[in-house]
Amino acid sequence: MPADEKHQSEQSPGASAASAGSAVPSVWARPRRRKEQQPALSQAQIVSTAVRLLDAEGIEALSMRKLGTEMGAAATSLYRHVANKDELIELVVDEVYGELEVPEPAGPDAWREALAHSGHSLRDMVLRHPWVASVLGQVGLAYLGPNLMRMSERMLRLAQAAGFPPGEADLAMKAVISYVIGATTSEASYLSLLARSGKTEAQWLESLLPAAQEALDGHPLTQDHAASRQGVDPARMREENFDYGLQRVLDGLEVRLSRG
């Protein structure tokens, strides 16, 4: 963070409230401001603009100064609603988690389909917002955010409807989420690289073909596998790869349930 931004962050009213009222460094743990009459900016506007900036330019481009420029406002105006960049990241992570679709449980036999749908919805969200995977470990108490709390509550209801006891339901959900985040992080990185290349995925793979063929020489099993995937739509192949792993995680949970 630049020195002037750090100074503003340290002097901002929100940061003062956080240090005075709570030792917990989280936007969700500090007191809320009273709503002002017709404010020039709102927290919702700031978060929405930040998400668009992140989607377009990535996490490295995000700063309070740049965000203020995007909104036609001084960074000091933003600090009235968001104390610092760390709080902003908490807010944007919770915002995009609001896009997730987690079905309500429809009985003990419907849990697997509902969990699969939730896993695919999480993957779709990360691929729409590839920057999110890089900040999930930095968001402090992000799970206090309303959207993340709703998602967690619904997924726990799914696990309990499946038959997992309360203490194990959380572990079952974490197993699914860990697989999805792990698999999707590498996919999001690949798609970000692809976007920077300016090529379509088919063009990118075609440009790599000579080097790939040379690398495969002398590796017959890998060569046969690659040959079997030639001509397959790469987006469909990525979807199939993801779903295969997700289904195996769900297989494991199903076996666990069958053993009581």
pLDDT tens digits for range 197-219:
888 888 888 888 888 888 888 88
Contact between 84 and 9 under an 8 Å Cβ cutoff? The reply is yes
Res 39: pLDDT: 56
Q: Which residue has the higher pLDDT, 227 or 90?
A: 90
| Domain 111-198+229-258 classification at class level | mainly alpha
| Closest among 26, 19, 257, 17 to 140, alpha carbons compared | 26
Rounded to the nearest integer, the mean pLDDT of the chain is 82
Q: Cα–Cα distances in Å, from 169 out to 93, 97, 160, 174? A: 24, 20, 6, 9
Average pLDDT over residues 185-195: 87
- Give the pLDDT of residue 18: 43
Q: pTM of the full predicted structure?
A: 0.79
Residues of the chain above pLDDT 90, percent:
35
Stretch 179-200: mean pLDDT, rounded?
88
Contact 34, 93 (CB under 8 A): no
- 3-97: which CATH topology? Arc Repressor Mutant, subunit A (1.10.10)
Mean pLDDT score, 178-188: 91
pLDDT at 234 (0 to 100): 87
Nearest to 90 by CA among 42, 21, 141, 48: 141
Output the pLDDT for position 26: 77
User: What is the 8-class DSSP label of residue 129?
Assistant: S
Q: Where in the chain is the domain with CATH 1.10.10.60?
A: 3-97
Q: Is the pLDDT of residue 7 over 50?
A: no
- In the chain, which segments carry CATH 1.10.357.10? 111-198+229-258
CA separation, residue 68 to residues 12, 47, 81 (Å): 15, 11, 12
**Residue 158: what are its φ and ψ, rounded to 5°?**
-60, -45
Q: What is the DSSP string of 41-52?
A: S-HHHHHHHHHH
Mean pLDDT, to the nearest integer, of 92-96?
A: 93
Give the least confident one: 89-103, 135-149, 189-203: 135-149
pLDDT over 70 (residue 35): no
Residue bearing tokens 């999480």: 122
Q: Which two tokens stand for residue 40?
A: 């020039």
Across 226-233, average pLDDT:
80
Residue 3's pLDDT band (cuts 50, 70, 90): very low
Q: Which residues contact 159 (CB under 8 A, 6 or more apart)?
A: 111, 168, 169, 170, 172, 173
